[in-house]
Amino acid sequence: MKKSIIKSTGMFVPPNIITNHDLEKIIDTSDEWIQQRTGIEQRYWIDQDGATGASDLGFEASKIALKAADWTAQDIDFIIFATLSPDIMFPGSGCLLQAKLGLDSTPALDIRQQCTGFLYGLATADAYIKSGLANKILLVGGEVHSSGLDKTTRGRDITVIFGDGAGAVCIEGVETDEQAGVLSSALHADGNLAEALMTELPASRLPLRVPEGVPTDDARYYPVMDGPLIFKKALRMLPKVINESLEKAHISLDEIDLIIPHQANIRINQALGQFLKLDDNKVFHNIQKYGNTTAASIPMALHEAMEQNRIGASGDVVLFTGLGAGLTWGSVIYKFL
């Protein structure tokens, strides 16, 4: 039977490092508050003078992943692009990336599942491979948050968190009897809590999606979040969905070599590790360097975990998990071939 195997990874962040001290200069915040409450020390933002979209960051990450897989762009038979910050309203960033790769007919699918975009994307790639619809898939998570943040004290709870970046993986269907590849996935959503984390405007449900008389710096043009609610939800739902994915894969938590959670807040991931009674080195963190890059955070973390040899040897098992806007949450278990 075909198994969905990660052949390679790539990641890219734009060149501008924004430290917590840089943010202190524009909003009422402090390095101490940000580090204590989130673990973040710095993040990367695009050059505010140029035009860089999620597909541009995704393109750079894709080139690295393609080279590592020894694939050319022509080898790809399906592109999945996960983002909440598409380059433009439409068409999707997957189409824009496809053109940048020099392709003109390869199918491209955008996934708008925010922090769990990579999890939904990995489960989708696995389903496409197992059903025979595709065999060589480029899965990308890419975000440009910095051009849409409220860089005033009003938006400080969110603005200090988000960073720009992209991660890419090449996934191939491989015929093998080994227990390998995507072992299970568990995905969920609760749209009743959409307002807990959202950007409301522009809105196609309004007679004028850019409403008249609303100033362009209105808070509704920026992301708003009920941080404490999301924090509590994450700690309640992630252990449940992790167990669900373990049960589906018929393996125990002891058999997981590394958990790579979405990088939303180091306190969430440390508390999750404590709740699951895991050694500290079993949960991967890189939020300190990148902040929360939403759909890019898990593939970027996977890339770094593999570079650091924390995971990736034949037989290693990694569990990806996360919760975010939607709300959406999920867990995917992957075993290296």
Chain residues in the site for ligand UT7 (CB under 6 A): 29, 33-34, 37-38, 115, 156-157, 160, 227-228, 230-231, 234, 264-265, 268, 292, 324
Q: How far is the CB of 194 from ligand UT7 (least distance, A)?
A: 13
Q: How far is the CB of 114 from ligand UT7 (least distance, A)?
A: 7
Of 265, 269, 286, 292, the catalytic one is: 292
Between helix 93-100 and helix 54-69 the angle, nearest 10°, is 50
**Which among 20, 95, 115, 269 is annotated as catalytic?**
115
> DSSP letter string over 41-82?
-EEEE--TTS---HHHHHHHHHHHHHHHHT--GGG--EEEEE
| Closest to 118 measured CA to CA, from 283, 300, 312 | 300
Cβ closer to ligand UT7: 11 or 115? 115
Residue 54 is encoded by which pair of tokens?
Answer: 């999620």
Distance of alpha carbon 129 from alpha carbon 124, whole angstroms: 9
What is the nearest approach in angstroms of ligand UT7 to the Cβ of residue 145? Answer: 10
CA distance 333 to 242: 9
Smallest gap from Cβ 311 to ligand UT7, in A, equals: 22
Query: SS3 for 134?
Result: coil
Based on CB atoms, which residue is closest to ligand UT7, 56 or 157? 157
115 is a catalytic site residue: yes
The alpha carbon of 239 is separated from its chain's Cα centroid by a whole number of angstroms, namely: 19
Nearer to ligand UT7 (CB atom), residue 181 or residue 324: 324
Q: How far apart are CA 150 and CA 157, in angstroms?
A: 10
Tell which residue, 147, 146, 129, 145, has the closest CA to residue 137: 129
Cβ 101 vs Cβ 59: under 8 Å: yes
Q: 189 - beta bridge partners?
A: 328
Active site residue 145: no
**Cβ partners under 8 Å of residue 298, min gap 6:** 118, 119, 141, 167, 260, 261, 262, 263, 320, 322
Taking the least distance from each CB to ligand UT7, the nearer of 93 and 269 is 269
Give Cβ neighbours of residue 185 (< 8 Å, ≥ 6 apart).
119, 122, 123, 126, 245, 248, 330, 331, 332, 333
What is the nearest approach in angstroms of ligand UT7 to the Cβ of residue 21? 13
44 strand-pairing partners? 17
The nearer residue to ligand UT7, 137 or 264, going by C-beta atoms, is 264
Residues in the chain: 337
Nearer to ligand UT7, 185 or 293 (CB): 293
Q: How far is the CB of 243 from ligand UT7 (least distance, A)?
A: 20
Pick the catalytic residue from 262, 269, 286, 303.
262
Q: Which residue in the shown chain puts its C-beta closest to ligand UT7? A: 227
CB of residue 263 to ligand UT7, shortest distance in Å: 8
Distance CA 89, CA 93 (A): 9
Q: What is the DSSP letter of 194?
A: G
96 vs 160, which CB is nearer to ligand UT7? 160
Residues serving a catalytic function are 115, 262, 292
